Amino acid sequence: MRVGLSSVLRHWPRRPLRRQPAHGPRGGPTRQSPNFLHGAKSPMLHATPLLCLPFAGAGASFYLPWRSLGVGGVDVRPLQLPGRERLLDQDPYTNVQDAADGLLAAALEAAGEGPVAVFGHSLGAIIAYELAHRIADHGAGELVHLFVSGSQGPWNGRTERATGLDDDAFLARVQEFAGYSHPAFEIPEMRELLLPALRADVEMHEAYKPTSERKLAAPITSIRGVDDHLVPADAAERWRDATTAEFTAVDVPGDHMYLDADAKSLLELIASRLRPASTES
């Protein structure tokens, strides 16, 4: 549950915070795109756009350092959920389906008309899964891969619960899940600011149920830290049932938050899986 503290402070509103709806009256995206890197283009040739979805409590800024790691073949394009960072004054989503619907326009803009891959960690993995279906159904570009990290299969559901607990118990339970607590939550003002998005994220993760058993036609790679006590290996393997294409399960060194310790190795793994798509485009 790491949160980009410096980014949160940088985007702290200078006026009283009044949250705005994250979607219009029909559930569509607002005019302000949730795409954190609006208009950003990669200088690399033959790089496949990789749309990145954050884990619970995190924002798009978590993925920004990945763009400077120098891994060829991957163009990291983070997507931003409302209720944090630049979209701090918008209400966070509490439903995965609404989140995927709301992110679709920004995802299509970031993806362009060529091949595109999607990555998500933990909560981000199930949002990525739902978003991948929507991208594939839209047909604007070619969905070439879905990378799900630190996540059980989409039909498993979360058995651990934190929703409904008081603030102290809630944060203790989330820390137990993730094995980490950001020091920002020890500052009363920051805690008040960050808790709504974290609570909303946890709620939508715990309540998630896929609306369809239809499988993706794109390959899926499931990645987990070998010491991840939250996602056992057999649970991560259940993503196999979410695709009619190739499935690969990969264990990497680390725990549930392995990607924070060695992002470059993770990107190199992703690039190796995308290489056929990026070199042929």
Catalytic residue numbers read: 122
- How does DSSP assign the chain, residue by residue? ----HHHHHHT--SS----B-SB-TTSPBPSS--BTTTT---SSTTPEEEEEE--TT--GGGGGGGGGS--TTEEEEEB--TTSGGGTTBPPPS-HHHHHHHHHHHHHHHHTTSEEEEEEETHHHHHHHHHHHHHHHH-SSEEEEEEEES---TTT------TT--HHHHHHHHHHHHS---GGGGSHHHHHHHHHHHHHHHHHHHH---S--PPBSS-EEEEEETT-SSS-HHHHHGGGGGBSS-EEEEEESSSTTHHHH-HHHHHHHHHHHHHHHHHH-
